[in-house]
Amino acid sequence: MDKTVTVQVERLVRHTVYKKIVRRRARYAAHDENNTCGIGDRVMITESRPLSKRKRWRISQIIEKAV
């Protein structure tokens, strides 16, 4: 997957019946033009036109590099 990264987005949701906070995750394929992202980086993604079958997001900026 050249120029592609998989971004995992986590959000907290309250369960409708039990009212417990539950962690939900979604994975998105995002376009990384210069291959600058690494494993564990925190990034910001923006929606774009369809670039491939699954890729509809672009990396807009790298917020924090992994150690």
Strand locations in 32-54 (E) = 42-47
Domains of the chain: 4-64 (2.40.50.140)
This prediction's pTM:
0.85
Q: Quick check: 12 pLDDT over 90?
A: yes
19-31 confidence digits (pLDDT tens) = 999 999 999 999 9
Q: For 44-47, which contacts have Cβ atoms below 8 Å and span 24 or more sequence positions?
A: 45/7
